[in-house]
Structure 1
Amino acid sequence: MQRFFGARGRAIGRIVAVSALLPVLTATLAAQFTVSEALSAPFSNQLTAAPAKARVAWFTDSEGRRNVWVAGSREAARPVTANTADDGQDIDDIAWSRDAERLAWTRGTGPAGSEHTMAANPAELPGPVRQHVEWIDLREEQQRHAPVVHSIPEAHTPLFTADGNHLIFLRRGAIWIADLRPSSALGTAQSQPGADSNGSGATQPERAGADDPDDRTGTSHASGADTGSVRQLLFVRGSARGLRLSPDGAQLAFVSERGDHSFIGVFTFATGQLTWMDPGTGLDHDPAWSPDGKQIAFLREVPIVSPIADRWMREGDPWSIRIADVSSGTGRERWRAQPGPGSLFHEVNAHDQLLWMRDGSVVFPWEKTGFVQLYRLQPVGEAAATPVSFGANSNNAPSETAGTGWEVDSVTTDSEHLLWSSNRYDRDPNNVDRRHLWRPAAEASSIAPEQVTAGGEIETSPALLSDGSIAYLQGSATQPLAPVLLRDPMHRLMNRLAPQLQPRYVARDHFIEPYFVDPQPVEFPAADGIRIHGQIFLPRFCEKTLPYVDQARCAHLPAVVFFHGGSRRQMLLGYHPMQYYFQAYEFNQYLASRGFIVLSVNYRSGVGYGLNFRQALNYGANGGTEDNDVLGAAKYLQTRPEVDSKRIGAWGGSYGGYLTALGLARHSDLYAAGVDLHGVHDWSLELDLWRPTDEPGVDQAAIARRAFQSSPMANLDTWKSPVLLIQGDDDRNVLFSQTVRLAADLRHRGVPVEEKVFPDEVHDFLLHRNWITAYQLAAEFLERKLSVTTAGGAAP
């Protein structure tokens, strides 16, 4: 056990001892350190608390081996699956049964968002490879053997019924149900909830799990005869999502998407009756049950017709919270956002955007101040919303007029307690690029929330266990995010939840300490004057905190600017809770270990700095104003004495690939080389703006021209710097043709182009070995093009 508020705290004597050897050891250490080692830390995410037994589950990806883990405040952490292969089959949608004895999840990346009909299969596993639901019964552990993993093919987003004996899931946009009892038959209302007692047209039962594609991984799987039967639960138009079971388990709420509108439906298992909740012309989503199960609250947004307007709009027709009577479907507006900032809904990282608390109040996110905060509606009385994440009269409230503020990130509740992470920075301005945990004030008279965690670490993704303890992810600049347990919130005592997940390469309790450094927060002006946040990574022999700094070796070093993807992202002063950026952070650290100065840029249109920064004017396809940040980053590096202004490169993926390409196309005089992973190169092609429209008042041709002029493809004649292009050809986020066209056009102009294509790989590479290959090639490319020979050295 350790004091949670304690700093990471290296011993001074150890710093002196290590720093004295740095001039001798740096080149040797860098030569020994590999990309594989830099990316070796296990990645854990999706902490999901069980409703009972003080249990929590999550998934961990350890160098491509993805497994589900379970722990509790009184039971040791352990994996409950045994996948041993880097097979590219992801894990998502972890769900508990109400008795905390059964656990389900989605495995595999399905065809959604892709023209392909098959699930992603970058490992070329013998087919057919299908996205599927897996589930286990933890009571089998008591019989001294690992739980059997059962499989339901072509399924995702599982949800247990109240008795835990049935599993509801989605398949091809429809809602299905499976009986989990052995040798079950789905023919009567007594055999399972939602049986077709009203002749609604159920299909014949289907045997599940007959050909699971993952039997080769080492996990024990059930045969089809042991996994029960499945059938479609109801037949309605639209595509279903957002499944929510009623408190008594007798009804199911869901969202039915219909293109330009959506409905909230409630299905009653006993009768087979489907009731629509206050249907209208809006986009209805995020249903939330009242504690007594008699009402449904949901969000209603006014559809935005323009294909790209929601990318830059700061205000519009206000969204609202509506409440409907479940038995009749009749509803009313309970609350409506005010015009101006916050009139357009912006979500937080949470399973539910509306949190109907046990006391009858409803908690929700709102950007009234220009920053995402939490508010509360009382169960009765006036419709005014009161602040939760800051006090109504607090001096620490975000201020739109002041131009600065902080935002709520992830939120969770057990219907009684509330917990969230935030980059609130009133005690430490550097926390704007960190995350800490907060909860409402213990005393009703207090105007400010209570800070649960603090210090130089990062804490996020909280989960409230049934005994009052708190699980969350904690990490730092040199320690990967990993699950921890706060057993006693009053005394703030924590311990690692799964110490066996310690990375393989560890020095003195910190991950590969001789190589990783503490990035420092920086601010610099964009070309148009906007202040931009970032983090700078200095090679270890240049760290200003060390007693010995080799000033001669810290001058005129090569530098690389990193642009994150998204663009709705924010890089932090440490490990990131999203796997893509967790690994990008590791690669930035690797580049620093090779002697590069690395500047990670939180450019405009990202999150963490307020509505106006996120909804930047004329950004992306509407003008590409982020180019001011691309230009400003290079200009800022040129002012630093550590940087050789002639050896500045860039790298980024997805949206960061777009900005890397934009920098090379428009500023080859500043950016000498770049690595572009699956970037957008022509917005008009990516957004289908070439398609005609008969929408009144819309000049589609003008929009398409502006989108193209905002793209790297519009400036190929000034693109001179060499580039490495990397993409998977089963990319479901960015058209692979973007890279095909760019490579051909650059080669036609004589620009040096190198490429690496991963057949059947998706946007966020599913195979760990592909990430190692991509980053190894990227590092070698940057070293060659920026003339790096050893850590901190340059070619003569």
Structure 2
Amino acid sequence: MFKHLFLAGIAGLSLATPVLAADPPPPAQLADFIGYSYASHLAAPHRGDRIAWVEMRKGVRNVWSAAAPDFAPRKLTDGTRDDGQDLTFVTWSPDGRILAWVRGEVEHNGWATGAPANPASAPGQQQEELWASVNGAPGVKIAEGSEPLFSSKGQLVFIRDYQVYTVDPANPGKATRLFYDRGRVGGLAWSPDGSRLAFVSRRGDHSFIGIYNGADTPITWVAPATAYDDNPAWSPDGTRIAFSRRTGTFDILAASAGEKPNPFSIWVASAADGSARQAWKSPATLNGSFPSVPDGLFLMWGAGDRITFRAELDGWAHLYALPAAGGEPVLLTPGEFMVEHVTMTPDGTALLYSANAGSVAGDIDRRHVFRVAVDRPGPAALTPGSGLEWTPAPLAGGRIAYISATAQTPPRVALAGADGKGARLIDPEPAPFPSQQLVVPKPVTFTAADGTVVHGQLFRPNGGKAKKPALVFVHGGPPRQMLLGWSYMDYYTHSYAMNQYLASRGYVVLSVNYRLGIGYGRAFQHAAKAGASGNSEYQDVVAGARYLQALADVDPARLGIWGGSYGGLLTAQGLARNSDIFKAGVDLHGVHDWTLYQNLGGGTRYEQGDVAAMKKIAFESSPEAAMATWRSPVLLIHGDDDRNVPFNQTVDLARRLAAQNIPFEEMILPNEVHGFLRYDSWLRADARMVRFLDERLKP
């Protein structure tokens, strides 16, 4: 960590020499607040009555499992160190005999090296490793690769260097490549009988669906076209494949001239010869556009020859059922809410999902688990109340598992009956946590300058009516939503813990769910002239600040702002455009100049339009366009192996701040990625943030 110290009278040092300083001890109780246990990656097999998940506690990750009848938790790994090696892709064999998962992380972006992340700076190069546990035995490494998938026969395939490999987890020898494809392979889907493998071959400006039929048979290509084909799903009898088709390429400035419809279609193909017909096409409207975020289409083939998928045809992300023979889809989940975390029951008759719906005030800022049949509308709430629940996993015995949290209790695994009743927590080793010191955030709304109603969560500390410093928090994404409790994403679970910690230190904190975020309908998420095309979402941040300043217990002269990723961008916007409002800010790995992105004005010549004009708007929508009015101090925090926001975004801003003598500090974490993988990285960054804000916003 580097801190600019102004030293005088020391021979050989200039007045602004960067000096290497040891980290001081973290502020009181910070380690307790961010030392929570976090459960994720919950999975269940199709036939075995058991579950598995990943638990992370202070950066130490382990895989756990539990099985009927008592579901006593059992640890399958022996992780003891905060090594920054993530555990993901928890996957069961259909019979529940073998569990596979991935250790390590590779994120493939244009500016990234593609090498596995090494945030602990281990001397040896890290690898993305495939691990497995057979019959509940301790896990062992069986290959290098990712995205494991078992067939109904128990054959395990996975991805390495964008190619498909196979290995026997019970007798792991050398992994062998299943076949060669010149594209980037992903989206694997086994046929029900386990004899054929569908896959997506991504080839830049188009993609194909292929079917591997065995070593001695050519690949079957499914109705190849100049489109993006994706999401292959087999029919239960294995004779057909459903898939999605769309056109268009990603362009960060596509909305500069106004968002254009991006319709998609669903096709059904013969698995024998690849011939296909269109079963349905979405309308060429904005609501008919492909639902790329969050989480995509959730295309699945259910009982009764029905294809289920997610779309936003009524302006909300809902589930639909389409006859495989074609026709009009049936809306399964009507209402003003958004569907996420979708899975199908083993018999294919129902869908389980989470949604920000319910009967308790503020449920639009929560998540609950629901069930709906694949052939008719009529969702049933399985987890009502004021808690939060997500990622349902149906068990073969009829029960369901899910992740459960409250405003004060971090995410844990829960098990309930098929109707949601009789829920109980499955906790391997209850971790000490200061739940009693957490406040229950209050749902609030306020209005932006253009009349847009904005939601937020208010964290109000104890201390009565005395004037207190305040903070605006802005999430990243931007297609994210902060909740009235712990989040289902580890990055925002940490953010929630920090907002609680800041409240415990006497700050009034407002978490702003600005436009571009999810949870409030498609029009809110795809706002006009937002992001690089006009920055309209920033007025929501200002409205949140004005809301805070008007509270009786807030000192309007001691208001700060913090956020990461897109929240870092909005933090920089606040300091650059409104140093009169925001007196200090902490910007974690934010975007500062849209025009530094390599894919700016990307896409085909047909799509580009006037790139020069778009880039002009993009720069004017960036924080660096308002450097002339930036006065408030800022703390910049960034990992230099960031694969989401290029590190040059912070390099460029630091140089501009220095050139204008704007006070700033920086904390650079070598080899850390975008969402810090180490607890130690978060602890150091959080401690630095708290000290920075305390020094500037507390008397």
TM-score by length of 1: 0.81
2:342 partner amino acid: V
1:42 partner amino acid: S
Equivalent of residue 66 in structure 1, options 61, 65, 76: 61
1:706 aligns with 2:638: no
Q: Distance in 2 between matches of 1:693 and 1:489?
A: 49
> Residue 587 and residue 697 in structure 1: after superposition, are their counterparts in 2 closer, same or farther (change >3 A)?
closer
Q: Distance in 2 between matches of 1:389 and 1:692?
A: 35
Residues 529-554 of structure 1, C-alpha deviation per residue, up to 9 Å, x if partnerless?
2100000000034xxxxxxxx3xxx3
Mapping of residues 429-440 of structure 1, within 5 Å: 429-440=361-372
Secondary structure at the counterpart of residue 783 of structure 1: helix
**What does residue 142 of structure 2 align with?**
151
**What does residue 286 of structure 1 align with?**
231
| Aligned-residue offset at 1:152 | 0.9
Contact 1:371–1:407 (8 Å) recurs in 2: yes
Secondary structure at the counterpart of residue 431 of structure 2: coil
Residues 101-128 of structure 1, C-alpha deviation per residue, up to 9 Å, x if partnerless?
1111111112522432531111122312
**What does residue 419 of structure 1 align with?**
352
Residues 367-419 of structure 1, C-alpha deviation per residue, up to 9 Å, x if partnerless?
11100111111344x601111113xxxxxx3xxxxxxx211122111223311
> Residue 692 and residue 157 in structure 1: after superposition, are their counterparts in 2 closer, same or farther (change >3 A)?
closer
Secondary structure at the counterpart of residue 770 of structure 1: helix
> Residue 350 and residue 308 in structure 1: after superposition, are their counterparts in 2 closer, same or farther (change >3 A)?
closer
**What does residue 160 of structure 1 align with?**
150
> Residue 701 and residue 660 in structure 1: after superposition, are their counterparts in 2 closer, same or farther (change >3 A)?
same
Q: Please tell me whether Structure 1 or Structure 2 has the larger radius of gyration of its CA atoms.
A: 1
Q: Distance in 2 between matches of 1:568 and 1:767?
A: 24
1:635 aligns with 2:557: no
> Residue 561 and residue 317 in structure 1: after superposition, are their counterparts in 2 closer, same or farther (change >3 A)?
closer
| Aligned-residue offset at 1:681 | 0.2
**What does residue 489 of structure 1 align with?**
418
Report the RMSD for the aligned CA atoms in angstroms: 2.1
> Residue 734 and residue 32 in structure 1: after superposition, are their counterparts in 2 closer, same or farther (change >3 A)?
closer
Q: Distance in 2 between matches of 1:691 and 1:55?
A: 46
1:177 aligns with 2:122: no
Equivalent of residue 35 in structure 1, options 30, 33, 57: 30
Structure 1 unaligned segments of length 5 or more: list them: 1-30, 141-146, 183-226, 391-396, 398-404, 506-511, 542-549, 788-794
Equivalent of residue 315 in structure 2, options 346, 355, 370: 370
| Aligned-residue offset at 1:352 | 7.0
> Residue 299 and residue 696 in structure 1: after superposition, are their counterparts in 2 closer, same or farther (change >3 A)?
closer
Contact 1:349–1:411 (8 Å) recurs in 2: no
1:152 partner amino acid: A
| Aligned-residue offset at 1:278 | 1.1
Secondary structure at the counterpart of residue 243 of structure 2: strand
Residues 721-779 of structure 1, C-alpha deviation per residue, up to 9 Å, x if partnerless?
00000000111111111111111111221111011000111111111110011111111
1:87 partner amino acid: D
> Residue 354 and residue 688 in structure 1: after superposition, are their counterparts in 2 closer, same or farther (change >3 A)?
closer
**What does residue 7 of structure 2 align with?**
none
**What does residue 448 of structure 1 align with?**
378
Superposition misfits of 4+ residues, deviation over 6 angstroms: 310-313, 348-352, 690-693
Secondary structure at the counterpart of residue 780 of structure 1: helix
Equivalent of residue 333 in structure 2, options 375, 383, 389: 389
> Residue 662 and residue 277 in structure 1: after superposition, are their counterparts in 2 closer, same or farther (change >3 A)?
same
Q: Distance in 1 between matches of 2:27 and 2:570?
A: 32
Contact 1:134–1:150 (8 Å) recurs in 2: yes
Secondary structure at the counterpart of residue 682 of structure 2: helix
Q: Distance in 2 between matches of 1:373 and 1:180?
A: 38
| Aligned-residue offset at 1:263 | 0.6
> Residue 436 and residue 98 in structure 1: after superposition, are their counterparts in 2 closer, same or farther (change >3 A)?
same
Secondary structure at the counterpart of residue 542 of structure 2: helix
1:241 aligns with 2:186: yes
Structure 2 unaligned segments of length 5 or more: list them: 1-25
1:515 aligns with 2:437: yes
Equivalent of residue 291 in structure 2, options 346, 349, 354: 346
Mean CA deviation greater in 31-40 or 50-59: 31-40
Mapping of residues 506-545 of structure 1, within 5 Å: 512-541=434-463
Q: Distance in 2 between matches of 1:728 and 1:90?
A: 16
Secondary structure at the counterpart of residue 73 of structure 2: strand
Equivalent of residue 469 in structure 1, options 377, 382, 399: 399
Q: Distance in 2 between matches of 1:656 and 1:265?
A: 40
Q: Distance in 1 between matches of 2:85 and 2:95?
A: 28
Secondary structure at the counterpart of residue 105 of structure 1: strand
> Residue 466 and residue 348 in structure 1: after superposition, are their counterparts in 2 closer, same or farther (change >3 A)?
farther
> Residue 632 and residue 411 in structure 1: after superposition, are their counterparts in 2 closer, same or farther (change >3 A)?
same
2:372 partner amino acid: P
> Residue 351 and residue 748 in structure 1: after superposition, are their counterparts in 2 closer, same or farther (change >3 A)?
closer
Secondary structure at the counterpart of residue 472 of structure 1: strand
Equivalent of residue 262 in structure 1, options 191, 201, 207: 207
> Residue 491 and residue 319 in structure 1: after superposition, are their counterparts in 2 closer, same or farther (change >3 A)?
closer
Contact 2:291–2:312 (8 Å) recurs in 1: yes
Contact 1:463–1:470 (8 Å) recurs in 2: yes
1:168 partner amino acid: V
1:630 partner amino acid: V
